[in-house]
Structure 1
Amino acid sequence: MDARAIIAKVRDRQSPTTEELRWFANGLASGAVSDAQAGAFAMAALLNGLGEEGRIALTLGMRDSGDVLKWRMDGPVMDKHSTGGVGDCVSLILAPALAACGVFVPMISGRGLGHTGGTLDKMEAIPGVTAQISEAELRRIVAKVGCAVVGATGSIAPADKRLYAVRDVCAAVESVDLITASILSKKLAAGLEGLILDVKVGTGAFMKTPDEARALARSLVDTANGAACPTAAMITDMNEPLAPTLGNALEVATCLEVMGGDRLAAPRLFDLTVALGGRLLALAGGAEGEGEEKIRAAIESGAAMDRFAQMVFEMGGPPDMDKDWRTHLPDAPFVVPVPAPEAGMVSGWNGQALGLAVVGLGGGRQVETDKVDPAVGLSATIPLGREVQKGDPIAFVHARRDDDAARAVAEVQAAVSIGGADPDHPLVHERIDP
């Protein structure tokens, strides 16, 4: 095997063999492939693609570059992945709801990326919770509770960690083939028997157009099923925040309100959680309508809240998150309304700008070493289609300092569109089935 020959094939629009791509993935993990070769491969894949067989081979090679978990449970082992958005905290409700339905969910998640929030940062907004745990602890918690939302260990898909870092510095992040391999190598390494993908589209998503989202969703579904993991996807709307809150502790609070019985605290969040969970239970062999009813019942009965509280406690958090969660989550010292700049109907949100406003408050990372402030963010962001008068609050800024709050107020005002046609953004744009 020769890295240069494999790179040349991709450069010349030829197809490397399955064995060559698996060798290249192992070389990324072992160091046999240099940074220069990894960068050249990434750029060639971005420009020319790998084809479906090549994408599957690279994904499996990256999966097998480290540990691959195997489970012996008395129920299906399944998971969900979102491509990222703002106010997207589905995982915190869906994982315990699935556990309450008899599914085992070893949810390996990530941290905030760009303007989007990270599930691990949200979990660690709860005092005492540690999301980076050992494989032994992951197995213990999943067996006991049914779910655990954790970070990947260094032994999970190490080839992806190496290639991702190289892609980031050589302008090759946008390759659909490499995005697919990156996402799925980590998910498949968790030993899943089924996966539901939430591919976001709109102003708050990485994929801004339906065609971009559809291409990624199709690639993910075809590759995962080609790797023998039953998988489906939904293309869902991110032209406004999924929940009315953005920021780590604020989103956790919203999830707890929903699991505590107040679905109107975030109706779009509730509805999407039910839709994704129902589709996943259908992949496990159930009827889809029945699956949605089971997820809905798990949330409304309090069963999801019970599982969430158990998971938090097992991960080092307080023992009473199902009862006294308001006393545990951090608060920002400055809470400031954002006045509507004019009267009219709220017709649009620039979701990316909203996410960046939260990052600017300290709720995300501008460089890798930044420490995230869990208390800051936005709350009560007004939904699309709502009429407002000039000066009415369209959101509230939660800030550590008053000057940060003032800057964020201006950024949120710049991110809203008032006036124009009544927006028509269905929550689920399209389903992508195997």
Structure 2
Amino acid sequence: MPPFDVPEGDPFGPHNLPYGVFSPPGSSERTVGVRLGDHVLDAGAAAHALGSPYASLLARPTLGPLLAAGRTAWSDVRRALTAWVTVPAHRETVEPLFHPLSEVTLHLPFEVADYVDFYASENHARNVGRMFRPDAPDSLTPNWKHLPIGYHGRSGTVVVSGTDVVRPSGQRKAPTEDAPVFGPSVRLDIEAEVGFVVGVPSELGRPVPLSDFRDHVFGLCLLNDWSARDVQAWEYVPLGPFLGKSFTTSVSAWITPLDALEEARVAPPERTHDLLPYLDDAHEEPGGYDLRITVSLNGHVVSEPPFSTMYWTAAQQLAHLTVNGASLRTGDLYGSGTVSGPTERERGSLLELTWNGRDPLELPDGKRTFLEDGDVVTLSAWAPGPDGVRVGLGEVTGRVVPAA
């Protein structure tokens, strides 16, 4: 089917237009692309052919220049792209600049500057609390309802969807053992998350308020925060996650601009505690997003976590990570934390789905508590769009390979 003739209702129709970076067939050159249906438009070539003033932002091997250009440029480029792929007068010029998605090579779409990950799902946090602190009076830690808890990750090991995940090795110690041992993780897990991509930097020493979220954040993507639970359990006291998380983080090849998700915006869950002023979003525009995530293991759906249940919003997370004066850089990435809903079928990690290995998943290809070598995990998602059409989010897939 020609690229302009996208079927009505296609989740990657002209109402979506996510950005990525690709190499055309037979080439190693990288350039910015925009997805339409099952094709990729060479956005830089289209901009040059149509005399766009934004050609210098699009004819690049990375999204970085576009991310840094700011909200006005983001909106202008999106309007231009929409016209290029919908107005019949542009068809003769633009159509030869499309490539079948199946024939291109997709790359990490931007250079990751800093990476931060949060812990923003109340359902996930309560599940973890019940598992590991069963005698505590509250399954949440005392600070959980007062601030978005997070940790600083490793930007250099963020990889694009399709990259193999090498099983990590490290120290682990079972409760019954006297000393730790070293070896490949035997409790490798996934975490279904959403990542937010920062475009416009901020000044060191100046916090970013809730109201400025959309001036700094360009868009979002799906994110899998692979986790070695046995390594994590032994190392995390007292400073938190380290080697159990830093080996690989997978993201989608497609970044969905926030402007494509207007119809998906929803209010977050009701607040049960008074918030300090810099986090109080009672008078801000709705900060949640209605994203429907699907987690598949070896092609079998095991969970469908709803992002609308996340207690802390992306705007609150951005405000908190900068409130001490930490500055933003173009290409900063921050993860939402594991997305889990209130039911068993909506849990976003194997840790929760199997209740720490107690209740194995029964799959057509065998039982699973944690991941085995050769397992393939895929996260996909969609959001409500205009006139009832879905907005597709690019999937993120990773295959587990044996430890080096």
TM-score (norm 2): 0.27
Which structure has the highest helix share of the two?
Answer: 1
TM-score (norm 1): 0.25
1 or 2, which has the higher strand percentage? 2
